[in-house]
Amino acid sequence: MKRIIKWVIILAIVAVAGYFAYDKMFKPQEAPPMEEPVQSITFPVTQETINKTIQVKGKSQYEHETLVYAPFASKVTSWKVENGGQVKKGDILYTLDQETLKNDIATQEATIRKGKLEAELNAFVSQQDEESAALGATEADRLKVLASQEAKRIGDELNEVTAEIQARELASKKERLNTAIYRAPAGGIFLFDSTSERPQTVSDNQYIGKIVDLSKVEFVALVGEQDVFRIKTGMKVDVKMTALKEEKLSGEVTKVAKFATTASGQTNNTSQVPQFEVIIKLDANEHLIGGLSLNGEIEAIRKENATVVSSMAVIHDGDAAYVMLDKGNGEVERRDIKIGLETTDKTEILTGLKPGDTVVLQ
């Protein structure tokens, strides 16, 4: 029985081996798939406007802010404006107490008047002394009169200086009195200083708040030292809001800072990376308010009617550059070129190609 089982296993193995040998030798084999030829990418040479831009980031702020200070120390008798309220130029913002200042003015005027009367009296007494000395007085009396006259002259000069000082002080106080009823120097939204909202008393030149003109907004951007020398006033800027990416704004560079500013807000700090402020005037837009995050592209260089090709087609070989020119009928040749302005996607061709040519990237 064991011999029968053994022969059955041997015959099974031989049968399987024979099947695989036949399949390999006589069954037609499928041909391997053919590789498709690599398609070349072509780029047209065109004539168009090419520009190079500088990317900037920053925030919007209101262009005009008029700071409001107290004209003199006094009590505030009334407020006519609310925080965030709209004001027009000339509107009354607040009224200061005038009594103390009026009393000071009256006292100063009386002092000046007293000084003038004393000067007139001294002049009259001096004249009497001179007349007495002229009527047969002794030599000693005449010397005494001369000394008195010199003292009077010096005294008169001092009195004139004092009178001038008093007159200027009086004019200053009268001018302050005219500002006791304080009117808005500009129109806009009034915002109180957060530390002293609606104070009941004010000191000399105390900061009270500001008037913000909401109709004009500017873009304040910071750029590095690599870009600051390439940015000039008058350059056009394309601006986008971070919050509303689909909203496109336009602007113009109006100011480039001459001094570096650091992230901490301090100047001339060598431990910080220097950055320079660039002010960009923005066109009016209904969605534009202060404090928005903005991105901008400053057009640093612009060339009209330039011969350009995709930068992907340009091959650099050290200081040289070339492209593969499509000659037609499947023929391609190397063409050396001289390049001009380069951007991220376009390259200006100065020599070697003309509009209408086609270059190949294989």
DSSP string, 205-231: T-EEEEEE-TT-EEEEEEEEHHHHTT-
What CATH number was assigned to the domain covering residues 54-64+215-302? 2.40.30.170
pLDDT confidence tier of residue 295, bands split at 50, 70 and 90: very high
Domain covering 42-50+304-361 in this structure, CATH number = 2.40.420.20
> In this structure, which amino acid lies at residue 281?
K
Tokens 């990418």 found at = 41
pLDDT band at 214 (very low <50, low <70, confident <90, very high): confident
User: Measured between alpha carbons, how far is 87 from 52 in angstroms, rounded to an integer?
Assistant: 44
What is the average pLDDT score of the chain?
80
pLDDT of residue 171: 80
124 or 191, higher pLDDT:
191
Q: Which of 29-38, 209-218, 322-331 has the lowest mean pLDDT?
A: 29-38
Q: Which residues contact 219 (CB under 8 A, 6 or more apart)?
A: 58, 59, 60, 237, 239, 251, 279, 280, 281, 282, 294, 296
Q: Which of 119, 118, 140, 141 is nearest to 131 (CA)?
A: 141
pLDDT digits (tens, 9 = 90+) for 219-276: 999 999 888 998 999 999 999 999 888 888 999 999 999 998 865 444 555 557 789 9
Rg (CA), the chain: 46
CA distance 24 to 22: 5
Q: Would you say domain 66-94+184-214 falls under CATH 2.40.50.100?
A: yes
Q: Which amino acid is at 117?
A: L
Q: Is the dihedral of CA 258, 260, 265, 267 positive or negative?
A: negative
CB 163 within 8 A of CB 115: yes
The secondary structure element, H or E, covering residue 188 is strand 188-192
pLDDT for residue 108 is more than 60: yes
Q: Identify which has the larger pLDDT, 248 or 197.
A: 248
Three-state DSSP class for 62? Answer: strand
pLDDT given for residue 265 in this prediction: 46
pLDDT beyond 70 at 145: no
The domain locations on the chain are 42-50+304-361, 54-64+215-302, 66-94+184-214, 98-179
With cut-offs at 50, 70 and 90, classify the pLDDT of residue 52.
Answer: confident
